[in-house]
């Protein structure tokens, strides 16, 4: 790694590998064919990772990509909305041949790039409206597809990156208010949101239907104890979606709460590393891009773990690098590629500066 | 760029605190609820009625080693293959139904699931609390893994006696040790046979009335009202009231029991004769806020999360929207107040224990392989409810109740008993008047090792029905050495 991509962050690679490994182990135990598939996705994801690293470290002028990105993002979401299938009640999948993909995962990357391109320069608020509209429409499209987790991630990306770039309180508070109003409206319109919130507040009261998933998740986590019941000795199969959304519960049940805490720790470290890369950036675009990737990974892991332990309502997102799923793995690898790309870019800038400084010294000596 | 860097650091703080919240919540919720989740009846990881169990559940015994529940196996014909196989099932003490250990011990049935101690202590019974070394040892060196034995604090002989005295009446009795919180007896009738849950479950007899039965307390609630008065009204002990059989508070008419005119009474007399007029005025003068505060101090409206037992919250629904009439009736223990017998025993125990409410304990000890004691009862104070001084004042009132007041039937020669009777009215129909619930709560004030709560559903008056029952039980308990 050090030779192919000088300046890339080794710790990040180790952390991701550790998470993926835990994922492989538990998936293999749950369903060997899925375990194998997950390794395949990891391989494919690694290619995506390399591509993203190259793209972000080498392309200097991103302005040209602005409109293509917005258009492709919109098209993907519209297509998903119109042609997608509903799987698991609140997620929208789209099938191409043998594979099912989750478009909202890829649009996540598009949004990060769009926001970074938009926000890298200081501009008047009015001029930002097209981007703001794009994000708002994306959120609405995704809410219509019942993918509330993606909507929340898009929203966090927008509001955090916007504030980081502009320190603009007005837009921040306005968008916060708009989201709150939007949430209340959608709570009242969409019955499935009501069901989610009810199941979150008291799963035990409806343990036989609405609350079953969370209740079984909590029971599984409670059964594991510190050291876990042991691989293969628990019963994670009673938890619905144990290989995707609720994989954290399966991990806690069989590998123990200590491993669960370690997983949380890994995500915290990834976040810290991502922020460090972002702080190290020399220009606004790089900082915003890497920060966006960090925010996406962080918020996603927070809401899925939080949903599994009943801190927040369930939202149907996956655990980055751990959960079974091609789209999830590819998109997460893409985010990793963004981070490493910026790290490599900065490293090259620094060594370029060093080279230049050395050059000056040489000239003086020649005298 | 500098500003951006500053904002990024701010975002880091935000994200870090999110994760901190996650970690803290995770640990907190597992620490307090982990066992509860595991014991949930929907946990299919522990279920009986199977052939060759991986882990044989341990026994449940009373504090004197009387076996109340154990695991047995028998040869049954497998319906699918026609072969004879060894099936495991839980077997309970043969008199379980008559002495009502069925609620405390519970049942563990392949069809009906688990309840009571079978459910709550499943972690110990299945040996999940064993250390890693112990688990490895059992897996490697023993022919069959076995869970641990759970000893309960109850006394089988005392339960037997109480059940016999209650006879066929519906109701509940709880006997506690006020100093340690140990539950010496917990009886709920009607009962069922845990050896045959399917056939003997009827109507509501599966419910443990002691912990899940909500009743209007009637006059026993006056203890709480009196406590509120002592805490908030100066010199309330000197205040006098003239009782003429009924009292009029604005448009509310509050009669005393059977219209008895009690004459001039102070708080002590009023408690002893259970004068509604006196306490109705107290309730109105205190107001809902102060009543609610003292109620909450006694544990009302509180989701008890005791480690040993599941207890429904008692309800005191007071808020700013309550009218005066409802407040007055609440102060008398009618209105919308609802309590559980165990909670009322805890209230009596609090007065006995200088105002400190101890956590109710049902787990005496957990014993593993080779008589190794894994866990022992550790008394824990739950709440500091009243000052010792106020507790003593209420104790004096309760003593007077038994020596000269409505609780005379509970007095025992050679002992000092403190108590309060209650006759909780229930709304009847125009055609038939329903008999009120008979309550008695009290404790042995000369040597406060026993607190008791008795309720006989639709039994009549507390003084005539519940008090004599409590007397017999306290006498027997003392004989047994408690």
Question: So what's the ipTM on this one?
Answer: 0.87
Which of A283, A291, A302 is closest, CB to CB, to B11?
A291
Q: What pLDDT, on a 0 to 100 scale, did the predictor assign at position A360?
A: 52
Do the chains contact at A164 and B11, CB–CB below 8 Å? Answer: yes
Q: Which residue in A222, A283, A298 is closest to B15 by CB distance?
A: A298
Residues of A in contact with B50 (CB under 8 A): none
Please state, in angstroms and rounded to a whole number, the distance separating the CA atoms of residues B200 and B202.
6
Task: Verify whether the Cβ–Cβ distance B1 to A284 is below 8 Å.
Answer: yes
Which residues does chain A have within 8 Å of residue B15's beta carbon, measured at their own beta carbons? 271, 275, 295, 298-299, 302
CB A303 within 8 A of CB A315: yes
Name the closest residue on chain A to residue B26, using Cα atoms: A309
Best mutation target among B45, B55, B126, B133 (most A Cβ atoms within 10 Å) is B45
- Say whether B34 and A222 touch across the interface (CB within 8 A): yes
Nearest to A219 among B7, B8, B40 (CB): B40
Point out the residue among A221, A227, A287 whose CB comes nearest to the CB of B4: A287
Residues A164, B8: C-beta atoms closer than 8 Å: yes
Work out the average pLDDT over A249-258.
88
Q: What is the residue whose two structure tokens read 């109850």?
A: B154
In chain A, residues with a C-beta closer than 8 Å to the C-beta of B44 are 235, 238
State whether A279 and B9 contact (CB < 8 Å): yes
Contact present, A166 and B3 (Cβ < 8 Å): no
Tell me the pLDDT of chain A averaged across its residues.
83
Could you give the CA distance from residue A301 to residue A321 in angstroms, rounded to a whole number?
Answer: 10
Interface mutation target, options B1, B3, B4, chain A, most CBs of A under 10 Å: B4
Going by pLDDT thresholds of 50, 70 and 90, the confidence category of residue B357 is: very high
- Compare all CA atoms of chain A with the CA of B33 and give the residue at the minimum distance: A222
Which pLDDT band, with edges at 50, 70 and 90, does B428 fall under?
low
Q: Which positions in chain A touch B23 (Cβ < 8 Å)? A: 261, 264
Looking at the predicted structure, is the pLDDT value of residue A89 above 80? no
pLDDT of residue A2: 60
User: What is the widest separation between alpha-carbon atoms in chain B?
Assistant: 89
Residues 6+ apart with CB under 8 A from B131: none
| Residues of chain A contacting residue B47, judged by C-beta atoms under 8 Å apart | none
Q: Kindly state the percentage of chain A with pLDDT values over 70.
A: 91
Task: Count other C-beta atoms under 10 Å from residue B336's C-beta.
Answer: 13
CB contact under 8 A, A160 and B42: no
Which residue in this structure is represented by tokens 């101090």?
B297
Please tell me which residue, B81 or B419, carries the higher pLDDT value. Answer: B419
Task: Determine the Cα–Cα distance for residues B302 and B309; give it in Å rounded to an integer.
Answer: 14
> In whole angstroms, how far apart are CA A187 and each of A201, A212, B46, B468?
15, 21, 38, 58
Query: β-strands B149-152, B171-176: how paired?
Result: unpaired
Position B82 pLDDT exceeds 80: no
Q: Which of A165, A90, A169, A174 is nearest to A136 (CA)?
A: A174
- Work out the average pLDDT over A187-216: 79
Q: pLDDT band for position A365 (50/70/90)?
A: very low
Interface probe, candidates A165, A219, A297, chain B, greatest B C-beta count within 10 A: A219
Q: A136-150, A341-355, B191-205 — which is least confidently predicted?
A: A341-355
**Cβ pair B11:A275 closer than 8 A:** yes
Q: Show the tokens assigned to A45.
A: 């994801």
Instruction: Test A295 with B38 for CB contact under 8 angstroms.
Output: no
Q: Which residue in B12, B33, B44 is closest to A275 by CB distance?
A: B12
Q: Using the predicted structure, report yes or no on whether residue B67 has a pLDDT greater than 50.
A: yes
Lowest mean pLDDT: which of A59-63, A363-367, B137-141?
A363-367
Chain centre distance of CA B377: 17
Give the residue-averaged pLDDT of A36-47.
Answer: 88
Distance from the B3 Cα atom to the nearest Cα atom in chain A, whole angstroms? 8
Cis amide bond preceding B190, omega within 30: yes
How distant is the alpha carbon of residue A44 from its chain centre? 17
Pairing relationship of beta strands B60-61 and B149-152 according to DSSP bridges: parallel
Six-digit token string for A160: 């955090």
- The β-bridge relationship of strands B451-456 and B171-176 is antiparallel
The three-class DSSP label of residue B357 is: strand
What does the block give as tokens for A326?
Answer: 């091609």
pLDDT at B132 over 80: no
Could you say which of A222, A235, A310 has the minimum Cβ distance to residue B44? Answer: A235
Q: Bigger pLDDT: A206 or A317?
A: A317
- ω before B354 within 30° of 0 (cis)? no
CB–CB contact A305 B22 (8 Å): yes
Residue with token string 């509501």? B204
pLDDT of residue A362 exceeding 80: no
Rounded Cα gap, residues A55 and A5, in angstroms: 12
Looking at per-residue pLDDT, the higher value among B74 and B299 belongs to: B299
pLDDT of residue B344: 96
Q: Residue B26: list chain A partners with CB under 8 A.
A: 257, 260-261, 264, 305, 309, 311
Q: Which residue has the higher pLDDT, A57 or A251?
A: A251
B interface test, pick of A158, A222, A275, A310 with most B CB neighbours within 10 Å: A222
User: A219 CA to chain B: closest CA distance, Å?
Assistant: 5
H-helix or E-strand containing A139? helix A129-144
Taking only the tens place, the pLDDT of each residue in B308-325 is 888 999 999 998 888 888
Shortest alpha-carbon distance between residue B22 and chain A (Å): 7
As a whole number, mean pLDDT of residues B58-74 equals 89
B43 contacts in chain A (CB < 8 Å): 219, 223
pLDDT for residue B177: 95
| CB–CB contact B7 A227 (8 Å) | no
pLDDT number for residue B341: 95
DSSP state for residue B190 in the 8-state scheme? S
pLDDT computed for residue A364 by the predictor: 47
In this predicted model, what pLDDT tens digit does every residue of B340-351 receive, in sequence order? 999 999 999 999
Measure A121 CA to nearest chain B CA, in Å.
Answer: 10
Q: Give me the DSSP letters along B43-71.
A: -TTS--S-BS-SEE---EE-TT--EEEEE
Within 8 A of B3 by CB-CB distance, chain A residues are 167
Please list, residue by residue across A284-310, b when 16 or more beta carbons sit within 10 angstroms of its beta carbon and e when fewer do: bbbbbbbbbbbbbbbbbbbbbbbbbbb
pLDDT for position B108: 82
A222/B35 CB distance under 8 A = yes
Average pLDDT score over chain B: 87
DSSP letter for each residue of A234-300? S-GGGSTTTTTTTHHHHHHHHH-HHHHHHHHHHHHHHHHHHHHHHHT-SSHHHHHHHHHHHHHHHHH
Alpha carbon distance A234, B459 (integer Å): 50
Q: Which residues of A touch B132 (CB under 8 A)?
A: 227
Select the residue of A160, A165, A219 nearest B42 (Cβ to Cβ).
A219
Q: How far is A169 from chain B (nearest CA, A)?
A: 12
Q: Return the DSSP state at B321.
A: T
Higher pLDDT, B346 or A74: B346
Q: For the purposes of burial, counting CB atoms within 10 Å of the CB of A260, is it exposed (0-12), middle (13-18) or buried (19 or more)? A: buried
Choose the mutation target among A161, A163, A218, A286 for the interface with B, i.e. most B CBs under 10 Å: A218
Report CA-CA distances (Å) from A51 to A336, A340, B13, B249.
11, 11, 31, 84
* Minimum Cα–Cα distance from B8: chain A residue: A164
Nearest-CB residue to A311 (from B8, B11, B25) = B25
Q: What is the DSSP letter of A323?
A: S
SS3 B417: strand
pLDDT mean over B466-470: 93
Lowest mean pLDDT: which of A111-125, A260-274, B37-51? B37-51
Q: Spell out which chain B residues touch chain A, with contact meaning CB-CB distance below 8 angstroms.
A: 1, 3-5, 7-12, 14-16, 18-19, 21-23, 25-26, 29-30, 33-38, 40, 42-45, 128, 132
pLDDT digits (tens, 9 = 90+) for B237-295: 888 888 888 888 888 888 888 778 888 888 899 999 988 889 998 998 999 999 999 99
Task: Find the angle CA(B468)-CA(B68)-CA(B203) to the nearest 5 degrees.
Answer: 65
Name the closest residue on chain B to residue A119, using Cα atoms: B4
Which chain B residues have a beta carbon less than 8 Å from that of A234? Answer: 45
Q: Which of A345, A333, A341 is nearest to A47 (CA)?
A: A333
Binned at pLDDT 50, 70 and 90, residue B159 comes out as very high
Share of chain B above pLDDT 70, in %: 96
SS3 content of chain B, % helix, strand, coil (to 5): 40, 20, 40
CB contact under 8 A, A225 and B128: yes
């Amino acid at each position: 790694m050090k030779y192919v991509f000088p300046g890339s962050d080794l710790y990040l690679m180790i952390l991701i590998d550790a998470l993926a490994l835990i994922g492989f182990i538990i998936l293999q135990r749950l369903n060997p064919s899925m375990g194998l598939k997950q390794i395949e996705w990891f391989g494919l994801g690694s290619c995506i990772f390399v591509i993203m690293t190259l793209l972000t470290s080498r392309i200097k002028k991103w302005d040209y990509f602005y409109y293509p990105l917005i258009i492709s993002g919109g098209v993907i979401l519209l297509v998903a909305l119109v042609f997608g299938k509903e799987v698991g009640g609140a997620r929208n999948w789209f099938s191409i041949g043998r594979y099912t993909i989750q478009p909202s995962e890829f649009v996540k990357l598009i949004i990060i790039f769009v926001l970074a391109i938009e926000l890298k320069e200081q501009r008047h608020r009015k001029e930002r409206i097209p981007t703001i509209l794009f994000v708002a429409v994306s959120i609405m499209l995704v809410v219509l597809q019942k993918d509330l987790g993606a909507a929340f991630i898009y929203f966090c990306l927008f509001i955090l990156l916007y504030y980081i770039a502009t320190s603009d309180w007005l837009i921040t508070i306005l968008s916060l208010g708009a989201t709150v109003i939007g949430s209340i409206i959608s709570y009242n319109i969409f019955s499935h949101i009501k069901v989610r919130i009810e199941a979150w507040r008291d799963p035990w009261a409806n343990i036989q239907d609405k609350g079953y998933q969370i209740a079984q998740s909590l029971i599984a986590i409670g059964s594991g104890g510190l050291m876990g019941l042991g691989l293969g000795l628990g019963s994670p199969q009673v938890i619905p979606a144990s290989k995707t959304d609720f994989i954290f519960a399966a991990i806690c049940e069989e590998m123990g709460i200590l491993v669960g805490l370690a997983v949380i720790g890994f995500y915290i470290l990834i976040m810290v590393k991502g922020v460090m890369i972002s702080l190290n950036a020399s220009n606004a675009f790089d900082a915003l891009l890497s920060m966006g990737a960090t925010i996406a990974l962080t918020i996603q892991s927070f809401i899925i773990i939080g949903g599994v332990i009943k801190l927040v309502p369930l939202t149907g997102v996956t655990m980055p690098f751990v959960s079974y799923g091609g789209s999830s793995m590819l998109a997460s690898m893409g985010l990793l590629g963004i981070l490493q790309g910026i790290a490599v870019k900065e490293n090259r800038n620094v060594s370029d500066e060093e080279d230049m400084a050395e050059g000056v010294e040489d000239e003086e000596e020649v005298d | 760029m500098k500003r951006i860097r500053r904002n990024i650091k701010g975002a880091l703080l935000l994200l870090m605190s999110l994760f901190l919240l996650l970690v803290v919540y995770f640990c907190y919720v597992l620490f307090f609820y982990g066992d509860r989740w595991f014991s949930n009846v929907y946990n299919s990881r522990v279920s009986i009625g199977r052939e060759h169990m991986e882990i044989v559940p341990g026994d449940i015994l009373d504090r004197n080693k009387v076996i109340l529940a154990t695991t047995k196996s028998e040869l049954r014909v497998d319906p699918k293959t026609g072969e004879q196989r060894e099936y495991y099932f839980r077997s309970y003490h043969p008199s379980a139904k008559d002495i009502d250990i069925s609620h405390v011990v519970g049942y563990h049935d392949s069809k009906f699931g688990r309840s009571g101690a079978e459910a709550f202590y499943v972690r110990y019974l299945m040996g999940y609390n064993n250390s890693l070394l112990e688990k490895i040892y059992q897996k490697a060196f023993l022919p069959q893994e076995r869970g641990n034995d759970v000893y309960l604090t109850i006394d089988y002989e005392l339960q037997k006696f109480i059940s016999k005295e209650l006879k066929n009446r519906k109701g509940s009795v709880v006997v506690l040790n006020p100093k340690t919180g140990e539950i010496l007896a917990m009886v709920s009738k009607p009962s069922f046979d845990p050896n045959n849950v399917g056939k003997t479950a009827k109507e509501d007899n599966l419910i443990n009335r002691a912990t899940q039965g909500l009743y209007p307390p009637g006059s026993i609630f006056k203890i709480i009202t009196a406590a509120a008065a002592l805490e908030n009204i100066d010199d309330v002990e000197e205040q006098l009231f003239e009782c003429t059989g009924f009292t009029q508070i604005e448009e509310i008419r509050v009669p005393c029991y059977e219209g008895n005119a009690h004459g001039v009474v102070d708080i002590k007399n009023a408690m002893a004769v259970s004068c509604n007029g006196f306490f109705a005025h107290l309730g109105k003068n205190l107001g809902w806020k102060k009543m609610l505060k003292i109620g909450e101090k006694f544990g009302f409206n509180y989701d008890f999360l005791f480690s040993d037992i599941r207890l429904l919250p008692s309800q005191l629904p007071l808020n700013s929207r309550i009218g005066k009439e409802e407040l007055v009736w609440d102060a008398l223990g009618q209105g919308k107040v609802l309590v559980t017998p165990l909670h009322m025993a805890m209230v009596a125990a609090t007065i006995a224990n200088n105002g400190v409410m101890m956590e109710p304990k049902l787990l005496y000890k957990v014993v593993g392989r080779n008589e190794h004691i894994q866990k022992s009862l550790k008394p824990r104070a739950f709440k500091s409810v009243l000052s010792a001084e106020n507790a003593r004042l209420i104790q004096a009132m309760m003593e007077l109740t038994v020596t000269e007041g409505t609780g005379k039937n509970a007095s025992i020669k050679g002992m000092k008993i403190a108590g309060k009777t209650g006759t909780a009215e229930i709304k009847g129909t125009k055609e038939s008047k329903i008999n009120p619930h008979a309550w008695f709560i009290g404790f042995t004030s000369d040597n406060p090792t026993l607190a008791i709560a008795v309720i006989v559903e639709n039994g009549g008056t507390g003084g005539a029905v519940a008090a004599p029952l409590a007397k017999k039980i306290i006498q027997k308990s003392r004989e047994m050495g408690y």
